[in-house]
Each structure stands twice: as C-alpha cells, then as structure tokens.
Amino acid sequence: MTPSDQVSRTKPARILIVDDDRGMCQLLTDLLREDGYEVEVAHDGASAIAKHQALPFDLTITDLMMPRMKGVELVARLREIDGGAVVLLITAFGTIESAVEAMRAGAFHYVTKPFHNDEILIQVKRALEQKTLRDELRRLRTEVHARTRFQNIVGQSQAMQRVFEIIAQVSDLPANVLIEGESGTGKELIARAIHFNSSRAAGPFVPVNCAAIPETLLESELFGYVRGAFTDARKDRRGLFQEASGGILFLDEISEIPLTLQAKLLRILEDKEVRPLGANQGEKVDARVVSASNRNLETLVRDGKFRQDLYYRLNVIRIELPTLRQRSEDIPLLVDHFVRKFAESAKHTVEGIQADALAALKSHDWPGNIRELEHTIERAVLLGKGAMIGLEDLPAQFAARGECELVVGQAVARQLTLRDLEREYIGRVLESSHGNKTEAARILGVDRTTLYRKLEEYKFKD
C-alpha cells in the first residue's frame, strides 16, 4: 500500500498548504489544525512537489498566483506523479479564468478570496471525501480485475459474488436454468454469461421475449410451421426452438406464456422433440433452456397461473438476482463502469463522480435497478459539463437529497442541537424570503400557524 492509500477515518488527514504569502499560510494552518487536521506548509511549487513525493498528502491546497511555478502547473505536475492527488485552489477575485484552467488540469474545486472560514472547511471536507472515494475505487478496480471471470458484469457485493459462483458452477451443466429478479437487475446479462461460459458458446443464443409476441403467434414462432398449416403459411418456417439447437434458447418473461402453450412446452422439454404446426412428425432438438422472470413463478404456481410440472422442469437450477437496493455497496463500481462506458461518446472529458453526488445515488431506492442507474449515468455523462459528475448533473430529486446530506453532515460535525439547527434554518429562510411569512412557511413545508408559533418560541423579532 502506498501512503496515499492510507486514508482512514481513525487517522487525521494530512494537508499541504502551498502559498508564497506567509500570512495566508499561517491563517489556513491555524484554521485547519483547529479542525483536527495535520498540516504542512510549502512556499513554492517545487518544494510542494518534493514534499508530496517524500510522503503523499491527502489534500493539497494551493494559491493560484505564485512566482515561478504557477498553481495551474503545480496541479498538472502533482497529478502526473500521483493520479490520486486531490488539489483545492485558492484564487483571488479576477483570476477565475486560470481557476477554470486549473480545474481542467484536474483540480478538485476553487475558493475565491476573500473567503469565509466555513467555506474552506466545507470544501476541505468535500475534497477529502473525494480522495477517499478515489482511493476506494482504485482498490476495488484492482480487486475486480483479479476476481471476476465475467467481464461485463460488475458486482463486489456478497450477493453478486454468490451469483458469479453459481454461474461458474452451472454454465456447463446440461440442466435448464431459471433466473428470477426484478426488472433491470441484469437477467439477460446473466443468461448471456451462462451461454458464453458453457460448451455451447460456439452455438446460438436465441432470445425470445414471451411478453412481446402476441399469444396467437407465439406458438408458430417457437415451434415453426409447415407450408399450408394456416392461410398465410406459404412456405415452411423453422421455429426458434430449432434455431437454438446446439445453443441456448432464452425464454424471457416466461410467466407470460399462456397455459395452453405451457403444456406444449413441457412436452417438448420432456421429449426433446418439436413438432412444427401442421407437421405430421416431430424433429429432434437439442436446445438448453434458460428462462427469466420478474414475477415470482412459485407464487404464480400457487395461484394456478403457471403449471407446476413445467415450473419444476425449468427450475432445475435457480438464480435469484438481488435488487440494486440490496447491494448498494456495488453502486460506486457500477457508476465507474458506466462512466467509462459512456465517456467515449461525450464531447468533453468525464473521469468520475463527486462524493456528494455518489452519496445521493447510494441513498436512492432504484425501482428500475441497474437499468435505471445506467440511464441516469448516461444522461449525466452526455449532458454534464465538468470532468466530475456533480449533483447538478443528476435529476432534480437527487440534488435536493444530496444537498440535504451535505448540510446535515456539517451540522453533525458541529454537534448542533436540533433546536439550534431549527432556529438557524427558520431565520435564514425568513431572510431569504425577505420577511414574507407565507413564502417562508411554504419553503419550510409548514402552515403559517406553525411558523408563527416557532417564531414566538425562538423569539424572533418582527
């Protein structure tokens, strides 16, 4: 492990301050030491780099305008020698353009002078969160590399590791597989992985969405027909079952197969023989069936909507995919995976996600599971502007939640009482609505009577 990987919550974070202005260095040193950080100082870029090389810092805070090496160059050099380095800039008003340039070179954020002490502390906290995230991701990436046999399937959680084990065990068995899981949990991806890892990999993988094909057509699609079997049957046609011979037939949304067809399917699975519509004779087929359902088949069996004997046939091996909420620890890796997948199509460089945006994603419910996450990241990558996806690049509901977390995090760090927090918040909202109580009550989400009572309680002046 390199020293920069040692970001642990038990040890205070190490911060390097770089500024030729000694007064500013002293001010920042005092402020950060008081907040419990370990601080060192360098007065120019060259010695900053030397110090970082000797023992990497968790965060570097640098002034932008310095003689000799400018802040922008320092950012670029630091990131060159340590890809995990996180740099916060302090810039004087009027140098915003160079700050933007430095952000492009990989700086995390900038704070303009003169600043509020709280502002620096909040940004330092965010930057350190970013650092932890980067290191964590780096660690996970190397582990993933060593541990997954299935290239496109991301998942470090125990639940997914279990799924990987099952795939490895069963891929090459002749038995049918049933994959159950909510919509968007990756059922088709898993079915393809089974195919890819089986001795049938060179054979076809034929997906059929049983819900998308009208009931009247499903039978002829699956089993084929001979010429003259019905009015429109002008020539023979092979069914998908026959197409899948030597490979895998993937019956997606199997619960939607009507009961009459279920009986026929069962017979085919038992006899390994398909008889096309209108044919006198059956033909041998050798297709392994992998089926998938987002409805619980056992319940459907109990309710008489799915044949029990067919269920047993399909369910020789069962894989139950976890929902994304059950494995939210996989979200950082999945986000990383999707960022890389879509970054190529973006017009600007996209490297990753900010810690607060990731926290907001982690606390979401994800009813659409991984597919929903994938779309969210695709949109953020393509429509966002910065190198790091921020809360502003996510749908509005995330931004509100993430900001709330940031604010509450600060309150917790300061150990504010509920009363202090409420009083302060009501005061600020009232200020921002210029004393308009109806407006303030609306923002606070309380009725006017409640607001008046609170104002009385906290003795706000009118």
Ligand X SMILES: Nc1ncnc2c1ncn2[C@@H]1O[C@H](COP(=O)(O)OP(=O)(O)OP(=O)(O)O)[C@@H](O)[C@H]1O
Positions touching Mg ion (CB under 5 A) are 188
Is residue 370 at the binding interface for ligand X, with CB under 6 A as the rule? yes
Residues 6+ apart with CB under 8 A from 309: 266
Whole-Å CA distances, 358 to 85, 88, 336, 405: 19, 20, 10, 11
Q: Say how many residues touch ligand X, by CB under 6 A.
A: 17
Is residue 144 at the binding interface for ligand X, with CB under 6 A as the rule? no
The pattern of x and - marking residues 104 through 143 that bind ligand X according to CB under 6 A reads ----------------------------------------
Whole-Å CA distances, 269 to 22, 188, 314, 426: 81, 21, 9, 68
Is residue 377 at the binding interface for ligand X, with CB under 6 A as the rule? no
Cis check: omega of the bond before 114, within 30 degrees of 0: yes
Nearest residue to the partner Mg ion, using Cβ: 188
Is residue 154 at the binding interface for ligand X, with CB under 6 A as the rule? yes
Residue whose CB is less far from ligand X, 353 or 440: 353
Residue whose CB is less far from ligand X, 245 or 294: 294
Q: Which of 126, 187, 195, 401 binds ligand X (CB under 6 A)?
A: 187
Query: Using CB distances below 5 to 8 A depending on partner kind, what does residue 370 bind out of ligand X, Mg ion, none?
Result: ligand X
Q: Which of 155, 224, 239, 384 binds ligand X (CB under 6 A)?
A: 155
Smallest Cα–Cα separation from 291: which of 142, 200, 383, 190? Answer: 190
Residue whose CB is less far from Mg ion, 188 or 439: 188
Instruction: For 314, list phi and psi in degrees, rounded to 5.
Output: -75, -30
Residue whose CB is less far from ligand X, 237 or 362: 362
C-alpha span between 139 and 137 (Å, rounded): 5
Query: Using CB distances below 5 to 8 A depending on partner kind, what does residue 242 bind out of ligand X, Mg ion, none?
Result: none
The pattern of x and - marking residues 440 through 459 that bind ligand X according to CB under 6 A reads --------------------
Is residue 39 at the binding interface for ligand X, with CB under 6 A as the rule? no
Element (DSSP H or E) covering residue 308: helix 308-314
Instruction: For 340, list phi and psi in degrees, rounded to 5.
Output: -65, -35
Q: Which of 148, 157, 183, 197 binds ligand X (CB under 6 A)?
A: 183
Query: Using CB distances below 5 to 8 A depending on partner kind, what does residue 155 bind out of ligand X, Mg ion, none?
Result: ligand X
369-372: Cβ within 8 A, 24+ apart: 369/182, 369/183, 369/184, 369/185, 369/186, 369/323, 369/324, 370/184, 370/185, 370/186, 370/324, 370/334, 371/183, 371/184, 372/184, 372/324
Stretch that binds ligand X, among 63-71, 125-133, 301-309, 369-377 (CB under 6 A): 369-377
C-alpha span between 377 and 361 (Å, rounded): 10
Stretch that binds ligand X, among 80-88, 132-140, 178-186, 398-406 (CB under 6 A): 178-186
Residue whose CB is less far from Mg ion, 188 or 320: 188
71 residue type, one letter: G
DSSP class of residue 277 equals B
Q: 3-class DSSP state for residue 367?
A: coil
Is residue 188 at the binding interface for ligand X, with CB under 6 A as the rule? yes
Whether the CB-CB separation of 371 and 382 falls below 8 Å is answered with no
Q: How far is the CB of 359 from ligand X (least distance, A)?
A: 21
399 residue type, one letter: A
118 residue type, one letter: D
Q: Which of 294, 323, 354, 376 binds ligand X (CB under 6 A)?
A: 294
Where on the chain is the footprint of ligand X (CB under 6 A)?
152-155, 181, 183-189, 294, 337, 370-371, 374
